[in-house]
Chains A and B, each alone.
Chain A
Amino acid sequence: DQQVKQNSPSLSVQEGRISILNCDYTNSMFDYFLWYKKYPAEGPTFLISISSIKDKNEDGRFTVFLNKSAKHLSLHIVPSQPGDSAVYFCAASNPGANNLFFGTGTRLTVIP
């Protein structure tokens, strides 16, 4: 059973606009959340993370928002750039776990 879900397999956005990628989870024990970015023929690379004690974390153009009551997190990219075109995975972990649970990914295309 998929504990982390990304319901939008793809998203297209104009360059310069905001990209919003969404992620939902079912396990209330998750306390750490991450976003990874993946280009074709490469491994995923870590992008940004957030602990459950926070509701927002920013790093340059990337901001992650966490809504624990809704079990929902989102990644905002502002402004979007063509180089941001990639597959984005959200992931989650719970205390004491030695595993990350990944979503199925959202393919972002930023149109110049």
Chain B
Amino acid sequence: DAGITQSPRHKVTETGTPVTLRCHQTENHRYMYWYRQDPGHGLRLIHYSYGVKDTDKGEVSDGYSVSRSKTEDFLLTLESATSSQTSVYFCAIGGQHTGELFFGEGSRLTVL
């Protein structure tokens, strides 16, 4: 199994508060991704990183920012959480294009 850990695994917060989710990998993989999973939508890419300090937007990036200061850590920040950001967030690492991604166990975020 790929060494990916996400924290926190569960979080409940209030609208308007900042939230940061952390993804940590021990595989020294260049590419890291943040997805969200919602009923009726499957998994959608929020942001991804292709190296330290190199990030790009995905399909649903509005309201989210990311940072990658070290190879092993990829942070997802919601500057001001909204109820529409209630979701399960998955971090992944893996190869581009051939897409055999390895996913973390997910972080369930509830915004009240």
Contacts and interface: CB of A to CB of B under 8 A. Distances in A.
Given A44-B43, A103-B42, A98 B56 contact: yes
Contacts of B106: 41-43
Given A89-B43, A102-B42, A104-B41, A44 B90 contact: yes
Interface in B70-112: 90, 92, 96-106
B45 interface: yes
Contacts, number: 63
How many residues of B sit at the interface, in one of the four size bands?
Answer: 20 to 34
A95 B105 CA distance: 28
Interface residues of A, number: 24
Please indicate which of the listed interface residues A46, A49, A95, A96 has the most CB atoms of chain B within 10 Å of its own CB. Answer: A46
B59 A98 contact: no
B90 to A, nearest CB: 5
B97 A96 contact: yes
